[in-house]
């Protein structure tokens, strides 16, 4: 665009007597007019009684552009400031496109729907009722004992795998929640986890912050004997203090322990104690580095562990549900 046109637009913007809020509403109006010509051009149902062409679309695109740039001029932004922000946003756009090109849907998801522990316990059959209801919905029942400083906190949820996209995972989570509600349970949390390379998961390359309510999470099943329990607790405290017997460890986030009620040792034999590592202020590469550091420390301290899961919590309707556990209260 020529300097003459840019200067002319700036002059018109400054002379425009609309307030900032009025200019913003004018922008909304112009976007609506653009939509009005785009929809019939795209043969959208309900708009085929109108006819649109490329010239009409271009006219409305220019109106939207002028309304946008007028707001920037009203706030006194210089051409240098505008171009700097333009470069920043186009760079982000390019990185997001590159990131999406690296992933092909459908992707695997894991869905957890948590119910209020009291609504679980007041059912006549308690545990057996919950297991039966989960079987009818085609999900797996999970009852966790979240290990606190003193005692445990019961967490009752479903677990199920889903293969699809964001929308289908969301719809499946709602299906499960609605079914549980119809059975008389009080649903307190819907959580959707996916692979850490999902396009929504922040990476070092893109540099975007992790969205509010989202986080990376890893589950490491540590196999121990009952008499090794105290040593594992001390090890996890060392992780949170960033120093274990294996040496200093560079991780972010928090590490906590839990046990699956259905997998507890009842005869003194080895059992799996789940170590959960969660971080909501990181990127994929740094989190995965932290997981590797934890695995290295476990091995150095003589702990055996089975499969390691690394996930990205894409959707969590009640991220504070287990905050007492995560914060160690």
* Per-residue pLDDT reduced to its tens digit, 215-251: 999 999 999 999 999 999 999 999 999 988 778 888 9
Q: Rounded to an integer, what distance in angstroms lies between the CA atom of residue 53 and that of residue 76?
A: 36
Strand pairing report for 107-115 and 254-260: unpaired
Mean pLDDT of 47-61: 96
**Residue pair 170/86 in contact by the 8 Å Cβ criterion:** no
Residue-by-residue DSSP string for 158-210: EEEEEEE-HHHHHHHHHHHHHHHHHTT--EEEEEEEE-TTSTTS--TTT-PPP
Q: Where are the domains of the chain?
A: 3-77, 107-194, 215-326
pLDDT of 320 above 80: yes
pLDDT band at 128 (very low <50, low <70, confident <90, very high): confident
And the tokens for 169? 């995972």
Mean pLDDT of 109-122: 86
Q: Angle 208-107-276 (CA atoms, 0-180°, nearest 5)?
A: 65
Predicted local confidence at residue 329, as pLDDT: 64
Predicted local confidence at residue 44, as pLDDT: 95
| Strand, coil or helix: 146 | strand
Highest average pLDDT, of 23-37, 207-221, 260-274, comes from: 23-37
Identify the residue with better confidence: 138 or 91.
138
**At which residue do the structure tokens 């994929």 appear?**
284
Same fold, 107-194 and 215-326: yes
pLDDT band at 125 (very low <50, low <70, confident <90, very high): low
Q: Rounded to an integer, what distance in angstroms lies between the CA atom of residue 129 and that of residue 176?
A: 16
Q: What is the pLDDT of residues 140-189, one digit of tens each?
A: 999 999 999 888 999 999 999 999 999 999 999 999 999 999 999 999 99
pLDDT band at 202 (very low <50, low <70, confident <90, very high): very high
CATH topology for the 107-194 domain: Alpha-Beta Plaits (3.30.70)
User: Per mean pLDDT, which range of 8-12, 156-160, 247-251, 320-324 is the poorest?
Assistant: 247-251
Mean pLDDT of 203-209: 75
Predicted local confidence at residue 266, as pLDDT: 56
pLDDT of 328 above 90: no
Q: 215-326: what CATH class?
A: alpha beta
Predicted local confidence at residue 16, as pLDDT: 96
- Distance spanning both ends of the chain, measured CA to CA: 60
């Amino acid at each position: 665009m020529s300097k003459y046109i840019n200067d002319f637009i700036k002059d018109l913007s400054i002379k425009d007597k609309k307030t900032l809020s009025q200019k913003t509403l004018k922008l909304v109006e112009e976007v609506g007019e653009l939509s009005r010509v785009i929809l019939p051009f795209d043969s959208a149902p309900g708009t085929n009684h109108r006819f649109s062409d490329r010239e009409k679309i271009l006219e409305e695109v220019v109106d939207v552009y002028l309304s946008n740039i007028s707001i920037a001029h009203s706030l006194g932004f210089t051409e240098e400031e505008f171009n700097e922000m333009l470069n920043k946003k186009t760079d982000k756009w390019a990185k997001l496109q590159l990131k999406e090109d690296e992933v092909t849907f459908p992707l695997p998801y894991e869905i957890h729907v948590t119910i209020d522990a009291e609504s679980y316990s007041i059912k006549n059959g308690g545990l057996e009722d919950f297991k039966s209801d989960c079987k009818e919905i085609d999900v797996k029942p999970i009852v966790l004992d979240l290990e606190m400083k003193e005692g445990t906190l019961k967490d009752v949820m479903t677990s199920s795998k889903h293969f699809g996209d964001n929308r289908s995972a969301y719809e499946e989570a709602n299906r499960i929640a609605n079914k549980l509600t119809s059975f008389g349970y009080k649903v307190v949390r819907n959580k959707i986890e996916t692979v850490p390379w999902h396009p929504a998961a922040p990476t070092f390359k893109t540099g975007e912050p992790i969205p509010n309510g989202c986080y990376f999470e890893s589950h490491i099943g540590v196999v121990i004997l009952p008499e090794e329990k105290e040593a594992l607790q001390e090890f996890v405290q060392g992780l949170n203090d960033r120093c274990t017997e294996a040496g200093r460890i560079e991780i972010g986030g928090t590490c906590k322990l839990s046990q699956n009620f259905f997998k507890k040792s009842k005869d003194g034999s080895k059992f799996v104690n789940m170590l959960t590592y969660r971080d909501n202020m990181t990127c994929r590469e740094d989190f995965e580095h932290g997981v590797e550091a934890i695995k290295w420390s476990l091995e150095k301290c003589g702990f055996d562990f089975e499969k390691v899961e690394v996930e990205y919590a894409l959707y969590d309707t009640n991220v504070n549900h287990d905050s007492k556990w995560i914060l160690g209260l």
